[in-house]
């Protein structure tokens, strides 16, 4: 089932997500809904809080070289913690909760993450390149942080202006077609 995405500047995105303690069927159904929502919105990652459920869960499904998202490659991370990090890298990020806006953000180049899978099994993963960036982006959501928070003052101001324009235009479009 496709869920509604909470969009900036909605304050619900600012909550700190809670640790997951029951790895039951409700969690599994919710993770499946997160997947449906991410694919429906053509996203490569999604945190639970973006569909209004502040629990420490995120999913990532990176496209392969042909641009296909193979569900076999779907990564589900519950209660993730970064235990090692090194280097730095800039990458142009976007977010389903901040539609139409993309900007360069600084991240660690390589990370090591401890997390649990949907059954509560403990896992460790080393990640670099786009996967490392996506994990850091989604983990920020668990702390109520958005990628636009990492922009310089001038870029943030530019963003606020552009985003207001986008919101206005979309509202106009909707009222015309209704
Ligand atoms: Zn995001």
List CB contacts of 19: < 8 A, sequence separation 6 or more: 55, 56, 79
Task: Provide the pLDDT confidence category of residue 175 given band limits of 50, 70 and 90.
Answer: confident
pLDDT score recorded for residue 174: 84
* 1, burial (CB in 10 Å: exposed 0-12, middle 13-18, buried 19+): exposed
**What is the distance between the alpha carbons of residues 138 and 133, in angstroms, rounded to a whole number?**
9
To the nearest whole number, what is the mean pLDDT of the chain? Answer: 96
| Ligand 1 centroid from CA 98, angstroms | 7
Q: Which residues surround ligand 1, an ion (CB under 5 A)?
A: 95
Task: Provide the pLDDT confidence category of residue 178 given band limits of 50, 70 and 90.
Answer: low
Task: Please pick, among 76, 93, 103, 138, the residue that the annotation labels catalytic.
Answer: 138
| Ligand 1 centroid from CA 106, angstroms | 15
Told to judge if 138 belongs to the known catalytic residues of this protein, a careful annotator would answer yes
| Ligand 1 centroid from CA 93, angstroms | 9
**What is the distance between the alpha carbons of residues 85 and 23, in angstroms, rounded to a whole number?**
28
| Ligand 1 centroid from CA 96, angstroms | 6
Q: Provide the percentage of residues in the chain whose pLDDT is more than 90.
A: 95
Question: Beta strands 57-60 and 75-86: pairing type?
Answer: antiparallel
Domains of the chain with CATH codes? 11-149 (3.90.45.10)
Instruction: Please state the three-class secondary structure of 48-110 as a single string.
Output: HHHHCCCECEEEECCCCCCCCCCHHHCEEEEEEEEEEEECCEEEEEEECCEEEEEEEEEECCE
Dihedrals phi, psi of 93, to nearest 5 degrees: -105, 155
pLDDT score recorded for residue 67: 87
């Amino acid at each position: 089932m496709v869920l509604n995405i909470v969009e900036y500047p909605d304050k619900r995105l600012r909550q700190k997500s809670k640790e997951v303690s029951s790895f039951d069927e409700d969690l599994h159904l919710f993770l499946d809904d997160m997947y449906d929502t991410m694919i429906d919105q053509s996203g490569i990652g999604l945190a639970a809080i973006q569909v209004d459920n502040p629990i420490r869960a995120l999913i990532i499904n990176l496209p392969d070289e042909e641009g296909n998202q193979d569900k076999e490659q779907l990564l589900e991370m519950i209660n993730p913690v970064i235990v090692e990090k090194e280097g730095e890298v800039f990458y142009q990020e976007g977010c389903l909760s901040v539609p139409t806006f993309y900007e360069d953000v600084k991240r660690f180049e390589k990370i090591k993450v401890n997390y649990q899978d949907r059954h509560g099994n403990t896992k460790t993963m080393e990640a670099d390149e786009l996967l490392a960036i996506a994990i850091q982006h989604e983990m920020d959501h668990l702390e109520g942080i958005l990628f636009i928070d990492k922009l310089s003052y001038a870029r943030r101001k530019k963003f606020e202006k552009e985003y207001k324009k986008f919101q206005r235009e979309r509202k106009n479009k909707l009222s015309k077609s209704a």
